[in-house]
Amino acid sequence: MPLHLTGQKVKLRPLQSSDLDVIQYAYTDLDLQLITDGDSPPLTDIQVREFWEEIITNPGANLRYFAIEALGDNGHFVGACSLQQIDMRNRHAELGIWMAAREQRGQGYGTEAVRLLLSYGFEVLRLDKVYLGAYDFNEGGLRAYERVGFRYEGRLQNMLHYEGRYWDEWPMGILRSEWERDSQAPVNGLRLYHPDDLDGAIVMLMQERNLPDKEAARTILRRWWRQIDRAIYSYQADGQLVGLATVSTDGDSPQVLDVVVRDTYDTAFITALREL
């Protein structure tokens, strides 16, 4: 029986020969080739078709490739995603994803596909870690990975030369334990940051720090996420996010560094942080 992983917007299904024409057309987009293949030489139409025919017919034991199909009356192929370099001894794999057309990006398809693929990786393959690398210019990808719960694990400088400049690559990963925790609804009180805190965190930062827009708030959050020697803690009351703090994890005792909190809850939040 074919495996189907279905969400609210898309489903993952096995790749099939009828997808080849759309895949071949998608590869005329140079940005797509850069995101998926880095500085690999451009491929001819014949090479693209032969490459994907081989994946469809003989993917190998260390690769799982899925088509992303939009749900609805005229459901159609919108991209593909994969777990590759699957290492069953060490229980980890690399995640890859791409969307076939520019107009299909920014619709939430990729974010949901990544969630479904992580479910497959952790529940079916029983992996303990999924990792990836994203270039600076892949803003859509970075936002999707952040929203799903990937953590930054470092920075590789000047990894790709494109449009007259060098771009950094950001290694990211998510552990089974993190995915299991993030799969549960966030609870009241002091706890580690949860991906579902994102929208509330943006609103709170805008209001409490008098920021001009959401992008300014997101910039602060991303700077915090990329400080890999720090953890972000959230404080929730009555189902609402009311506090955020960054805490140094480098040393024997945690040190609170950045704090943003609603006035009504500042005493309770600071008291909880002191108990870490």
Amino acid making up residue 58: N
Task: Report d(CA 126, CA 111) in Å as an integer.
Answer: 21
Total count of residues recorded for the chain: 276
pLDDT digits (tens, 9 = 90+) for 90-141: 999 999 999 887 777 778 999 999 999 999 999 999 999 999 999 998 899 9
Average pLDDT over residues 237-254: 91
Provide the pLDDT confidence category of residue 33 given band limits of 50, 70 and 90.
low
- pLDDT tens-digit map of 35-83: 665 555 667 788 888 989 999 999 888 999 999 999 986 778 999 999 9
- Architecture, CATH, for domain 1-184: 3-Layer(aba) Sandwich (3.40)
Which of these, 77, 142, 149, 137, lies nearest to 109 by C-alpha position?
77
Domains 1-184 and 185-276 share a fold: yes
Angle at 27 between CA 169 and CA 84, to 5 degrees: 55
Q: Is the pLDDT of residue 151 over 90?
A: yes
Of 197 and 33, the one with more pLDDT: 197
Q: CA 200, CA 85: separation in Å to the nearest integer? A: 36
pLDDT digits (tens, 9 = 90+) for 182-235: 999 999 999 999 999 999 999 999 999 999 999 999 999 999 999 999 999 999
pLDDT for the residue 163:
82
Instruction: Give the Cα separation of 156 and 108 in Å (integer).
Output: 27
Predicted confidence at residue 72, as pLDDT, reads 82
- Residues 122 and 177: beta-carbon distance below 8 Å: no
The answer to which of 26-35, 82-91, 158-167, 252-261 has the lowest mean pLDDT is 26-35
Q: What is the structure's pLDDT at 100?
A: 87
Q: Where are the alpha helices (DSSP H) in the chain?
A: 20-26, 30-37, 45-57, 109-119, 139-148, 176-182, 198-208, 214-225, 266-274
Contact 104, 79 (CB under 8 A): yes
Tell me the pLDDT of the chain averaged across its residues: 91
Token pair belonging to 161: 């030369």
The domain locations on the chain are 1-184, 185-276
Beta strand pairing call for 129-135 and 92-99: parallel
246 burial via Cβ count (<10 Å: 0-12, 13-18, 19+): buried
pLDDT of residue 4: 64
According to the CATH classification, is domain 185-276 in 3.30.450.20?
Answer: no
Task: pLDDT band for 1, please (50, 70, 90 cuts).
Answer: very low
Q: Note the pLDDT of residue 162.
A: 82
Q: How far is CA 159 from the centre of its chain?
A: 20
Reported confidence tier of residue 181, pLDDT bands at 50, 70, 90:
very high
Single pTM value for the model = 0.91
